[in-house]
Amino acid sequence: MLKKNLFNLLMTFAAASLILAACGAEENGASGSSDSKSTEGETTKLVVGTDAAYAPFESFDNSGNIVGIDIDIVKAIGEEIGVEFEINNVGWEPLFQQITNGEIDLGISAITITDERKETYDFTEPYYEATQLIVTKEDSDITKLDDLKDKKIGVQINTTGHYAAQDLQGKTSTNILPYETTPIAIQEVINGTVDAAIGDNAVILEYIKNNPDSKLKAIEDDSFEKEYYGLMVKKGNTEVLEQLNEGLQKIKENGKLAEITGQELD
Ligand code: ARG
């Protein structure tokens, strides 16, 4: 029942805030209070934006909760630094706008750290290594990136998959079809609107795993570079950035991050 779920959710939040508040108080006692914590030892709440159509990093479970690797990471960071995170599904492009205009404090959304984005945003240290993959129909002739030169490519708009398609075909190519989400881009491969899609490796593999009847295959290509995900804040928001890096460093050191991601970062 919806009401009951809501109540449970609220109670969980209340309990979580108490626990986090306790951690915050403890830390304040040990290390002196930092600007972001009130003198009473209350915790700061930070508002997080994400695009929850991106399993295994962020997606909705059957009860309507946002879950995934990224969510586990912010929770683990929050526990370390005594900060409570409120997670909002804002969508991919609004995420960038809302960080810029201050509606949200940070983004976690499998966001690749790129030089271009670094002009407008600051990133934490990396927490995950990724690369691009091509996804196409099982019976397609496509075997490598170069085969997509004159093909229709579906991408999630303004992602690194989109940029990879533009590098191949040119920025203004009309054979690149940008969609709002990655699952839509993949669905358009199944529908035959596009010949292939390009997207983040773990997300494509998760989609194929979760949709065994979709008759899709994933293709690697050496020309896709390594990418690293980071948490993103508005450029110059060093206060939040330092807190996040502090928590991230702790969960790197205590093995929690590797446990969550299943990946060892150096
Ligand atoms: N890693 C890619 C990028 O930063 C795609 C991320 C898309 N994330 C999402 N939750 N939709 O461009």
The residue with greater pLDDT, 162 or 18, is 162
Does the pLDDT at position 30 exceed 90? no
Q: Looking at residue 28, what is its pLDDT?
A: 38
The rounded Å distance from CA 147 to ligand 1 centre is 24
Q: Which atom of ligand 1 lies closest to the CA of 54?
A: 10
C-alpha separations of 185 from 51, 89, 230 in Å: 15, 19, 23
For the segment 155-172, what is each residue's pLDDT rounded down to a tens digit?
Answer: 999 999 999 999 999 999
Q: What is the mean pLDDT of residues 39-58?
A: 85
Query: Cβ neighbours of residue 12 under 8 Å, at least 6 residues apart?
Result: none
Q: What is the pTM of this model?
A: 0.85
What's the mean pLDDT when you consider all of the chain?
89
User: How many Å apart are CA 161 and CA 186, to the nearest integer?
Assistant: 12
Q: Is 70 in the pocket of ligand 1 (CB under 6 A)?
A: no
User: How many Å apart are CA 48 and CA 223, to the nearest integer?
Assistant: 33
The rounded Å distance from CA 51 to ligand 1 centre is 8
125-141 exposure pattern, b = at least 16 Cβ within 10 A, e = fewer: ebbbbbbbbbbbbeebe
Q: Which atom of ligand 1 lies closest to the CA of 130?
A: 1
Q: Is 92 in the pocket of ligand 1 (CB under 6 A)?
A: yes
Q: Looking at residue 103, what is its pLDDT?
A: 97
For the segment 80-129, what is each residue's pLDDT rounded down to a tens digit?
Answer: 999 999 999 999 999 999 999 999 999 999 999 999 999 999 999 999 99
Q: Is 237 in the pocket of ligand 1 (CB under 6 A)?
A: no
Q: Looking at residue 166, what is its pLDDT?
A: 98
Q: Is 159 in the pocket of ligand 1 (CB under 6 A)?
A: yes
For the segment 213-225, what is each residue's pLDDT rounded down to a tens digit?
Answer: 999 999 999 999 9
- In the chain, the largest separation of any two C-alpha atoms, in whole Å, equals 64
Q: Looking at residue 266, what is its pLDDT?
A: 74
Q: Which atom of ligand 1 lies closest to the CA of 227?
A: 1
Question: Do residues 204 and 132 lie in contact, with contact meaning Cβ atoms separated by under 8 Å?
Answer: no
Q: Is 111 in the pocket of ligand 1 (CB under 6 A)?
A: yes
Q: Which atom of ligand 1 lies closest to the CA of 51?
A: 10
Query: Cβ neighbours of residue 69 under 8 Å, at least 6 residues apart?
Result: 56, 57, 58, 128, 260, 261
Kindly give the pairing relationship between strand 106-107 and strand 44-50.
parallel
The rounded Å distance from CA 254 to ligand 1 centre is 27
Q: Is 112 in the pocket of ligand 1 (CB under 6 A)?
A: yes
Q: Looking at residue 229, what is its pLDDT?
A: 98
The rounded Å distance from CA 150 to ligand 1 centre is 24
Does the pLDDT at position 1 exceed 60? no
C-alpha separations of 219 from 112, 138, 206 in Å: 20, 10, 14
